[in-house]
Chains A and B, each alone.
Chain A
Amino acid sequence: MTLDRLFNTVAAWALALLWVLPLAYAVWTAFHPAAYEARFDLFAPLTLENFAKAWAAAPFRRYFLNTFILVTVILLGQLLLCTLAAYAFARYQFPGRGILFALVLVQLLIMPDILIVENYKAIRALDLVDTIPAIALPYIASGFGIFLLRQTFMSVPKELEEAAQVEGMSSLGILLKIYVPLAVPTYLAYGLVSVSHHWNNFLWPLIITNSVETRPVTVGLSIFSSIDSGVEWSVINAATLMTSGPLLLAFLLFQRQFVQSFMRAGIK
């Protein structure tokens, strides 16, 4: 029994160490002078020089701003559209409900990420190529968000709504005053998942942007690290950590909430 416990603990630790190794190695090189990138020395001098070099070598300030605008626009759009749609599915009876809900669920499998060819044509037809709205548009309506909020709304006791109706509250008032406040944990969970997902998105922004003014950090980072201009590995690692820094920091600070919201988002 205790042997069993010991074995499990040791195995859990061994896997954890193996799992942090790539990241730890990147952190180590990013904070040390380039001369040490291939030489492990515990007493090598620490430096922030690599971060300064990376920051100066590419317009990361602009990339960060673009990503920030992008995730904000997407999140606000998603919250609005998903709330309205989820409310309709949760509390109304109407013809076409089943089919329309099935169409929402289709998006859980067939995501806009795969339909890059046709969506590019659509964005070009709208004359929006190389704009931030173009990156956001395909993701504004999220099947996942509608599904998640519908589940939450359906668990709201009907008596609450009936009481409000007796008091003469309108449907929209009921949604805003009763349903939305009760769903705050779901909104939080969904918000974290959405922000981290779109902060990390790459392929679609790569296709639809081609200037510094619109590129998010992921595309900026890939351009920065792919040019064979002899950029030092330590600088690339610094840039890599920098671009994931805000999310990583947020994760370390709010670890519990993060894990819980991912869990909440996953429970069907």
Chain B
Amino acid sequence: MLRTRGWIHAWLLLSPAFVFLIAFTHYPALTTLWNSFFTTPRGRRPRRWAGLDNYDTLIADPVFWKVLGNNLIYALGTIPLSIVIALAMALWVNRQFTGRSFVRMAYFTPTVLPMIAVANIWMFFYTPGFGLIDQIGSALGFGQTNILGSADSALYGVMAVTIWKEAGFFMIFYLAALQTIPVSLTEAARIEGAGSWTILRRVTLPLLMPTTLFVSINAVVNSFRMVDHIFILTGGGPDNASSLLLFYIYEVAFRFWDTAYAATLTVVVLIFLMGLAIGQFFLFDRKVHYR
């Protein structure tokens, strides 16, 4: 009797949060999958069962493959680099030196800015002719560049912005982790005659593994989730050279109003994220060194 009352209390406490969680996360995730098997209703024509038609379209859609490839390059290019930079930042800022608080502030400030503001700032930086990059370039005798305007470099221009914004954010997590490493460990290694590089490689980095895992997962999720800067910097162009999956989903759903195909594209993102969840659960957790 008392026990069931406890159950009811708990369920009542959970219900408000779950109404919203289910309504805006779990249920839409399921209807996304369901809707990918239908056609988009247009005007007076209601939707009808389409089977795997949308998936056939997907496989035959060159833009989808382009955007998927972009997203992979984007993830592989930004994640390892921002993690390495974040780690270096954290190791530097964790020591005592002149101007430490300024340096830490410089690293972290981009994190506080809205991505839209960041994109505006970099847009100006990149502007052909009088952006700072071209000004420095012309002073050194290089010609005019158009990083965001050419298909070869637009994606890399966008990636630089992402690294700039994310490295400082990840630095914070490494800083937090570094402060939990007992000094006695590094001291002991030093007495044993280990150099700084060996200590970093054999003591510090293994102890930072859980943080690296946490940060990596965060970074992967962000690489699917964060497309704000693309709106300002390139609009996905030229010719989809810098478009990412979520940006393409936005275009398909809210510019071409093909919601069924947008749902199909969303399923692809959901599959990636589910793969990540499963991978995290079964694979990484065992390989990570826990204290």
| A interface residues (Cβ-Cβ under 8 A, vs B) | 4-5, 8-9, 11-13, 15-17, 19-23, 25-26, 29, 37-38, 40, 80-82, 84-85, 87-89, 92-95, 97, 100, 103-104, 106-122, 137-141, 143, 146, 171, 196, 199-200, 202-203, 206-207, 217-218, 221-222, 225-226, 233, 236-237, 240-241, 243-244, 247-248, 251-252, 255, 258-259, 262-264, 266-268
Contact = CB atoms under 8 A, between A and B. Distances in A.
B21 A104 contact: yes
A200 B14 CA distance: 28
Contacts, number: 272
A130 to B, nearest CB: 14
A224 B107 CA distance: 28
Range class of the B interface residue count: 35 or more
B121 A22 contact: yes
A101 to B, nearest CB: 10
Contact of B17 (A81, A202, A225): A81
Contact of A15 (B31, B88, B214): B88
Given A20-B106, A268-B214, A25 B132 contact: yes
B78 to A, nearest CB: 16
A95 B227 CA distance: 40
Interface string B1-38: 00000110111011011111111111111011001000
Nearest to A145: B17
B263 A203 contact: no
Given A21-B132, A138-B24, A266-B214, A117 B249 contact: yes
Given A84-B17, A93-B6, A236-B120, A244 B112 contact: yes
28 contacts: A15-B107, A16-B102, A19-B168, A80-B16, A81-B17, A93-B10, A103-B21, A103-B22, A109-B221, A110-B29, A111-B221, A117-B259, A118-B31, A122-B23, A137-B24, A138-B25, A141-B24, A203-B246, A218-B228, A237-B120, A240-B117, A244-B114, A251-B108, A259-B108, A262-B111, A266-B173, A268-B210, A268-B214
Interface of B: 6-7, 9-11, 13-14, 16-29, 31-32, 35, 85, 88-89, 92-93, 95, 97-99, 101-117, 120-125, 127, 129-130, 132, 135, 164, 168-169, 172-173, 175-176, 196, 210, 214, 217, 221, 224-225, 227-228, 231-232, 246, 249-250, 253-254, 259, 262-263, 266, 269-270, 273-274, 276-277
